[in-house]
Amino acid sequence: MKKVHNYSAGPCILPREVFEKAAQAVLDFEGSGLSILEISHRSKPFEAVMTKAQALVKELLGAPDHYQVVFLGGGASMGFHMIPQNYMKPGGKAAYANTGEWATRAIKESKMFGDTVVVASSEDKNFSYIPKGFDIPGDVDYFHFTSNNTIFGTQYKQFPKSPVPVICDMSSDIFSRPVNVADFALIYAGAQKNMGPAGATVYLMDPEKLGKTGRKLSPMMDLKNHADKESMYNTPPVYAVYVSMLTMEWMKRMGGVAAMEQRNAAKAKLLYDAIDRLPIFKGTTAVEDRSMMNATFVLNDASLEPAFDALWKEANISGIRGHRSVGGYRASMYNALPIESVQALVDVMEHFATTHG
């Protein structure tokens, strides 16, 4: 089987050993004679999977003991809708920072439930930087931001200090670097970047900040209900949770989140150094805000794109075309991407610069 260097922004690359274990479990889960796809979510074997997955989230991120973990379906986009219901009082107010497409969607959902103030935005420069030095008002129910901008390639290097509960969408950089979980009322993330396949979303929350709004919620929208039911109020995304558990086990064996940060920093430096060194290419974001996860760049001469595309495809590189809304190129370097794949892309870029520069 040929080696493909997978830069997909999500669903994304996962470790080979995770694929192998997950594939075996599809045929026979732990010698049961049943597939992981058909076992009951109420069975003891799957309850053990869920318990372990929840524990690994807390262990890898160093969460306080009292924090709770919930796995749900619906993606982070469902979270956009759930968060104002669970954290904004009726007649209340929320503050948001807008750094791209997903933050924009979260803001739109919040506006359905109450006054939503955008306290910082980088929309004026096509989301090419992270806003800094802004104030978060003390009279809002919570402050929400998106830690990494998957589409435009920016990332918070310093998290905002807030006088109110902080909620963060970490879908595209969770487990990529250490964070102080105690600073957050809620961290949530779709699994399909650094944790597992599409279909599961993890919520890591301080239960002391939940249930304070006075809203009467549908049980399906109530995070406290899901936490109290140990993610089992309804059928959870069984396979996605299982593969997420396997991936977190791999991260732990590799040295945990601190080791992931070192790996990711080395990969990002290798690629960004090439972008800056080769005049034929140009990065599209503020240098100080460049994402370790999603490096975005363009060719200075767009007419050369077909020739460049042919070259990287010939090198078995996949998934580096930019998001359809922005064009150019985006190399997503999630935890499981080996540095050898980054070197393969850099080699192509250097060869192309030599022949077309």
| Residue numbers annotated as active site | 102, 169, 193
CB atoms within 10 A of CB 73: 14
Q: Is the alpha carbon torsion for 266, 272, 273, 274 positive or negative?
A: positive
Helix (H) or strand (E) holding 232: none
Query: Parallel, antiparallel, or unpaired for β 68-72 and 148-149?
Result: unpaired
Task: Tell me how far apart the alpha carbons of residues 330 and 172 are, in angstroms, rounded to a whole number.
Answer: 13
Measured over all CA atoms, what is the biggest interatomic distance in the chain, rounded to whole angstroms?
65
Whole-Å CA distances, 332 to 49, 173, 181, 195, 290:
29, 11, 25, 14, 12
Say how far apart CA 283 and CA 293 lie, in whole Å. 14
The total of other beta-carbon atoms located within 10 Å of residue 286's CB is: 14
98 forms beta bridges with 121
Distance CA 80, CA 116 (A): 13
CA distance 172 to 155: 10
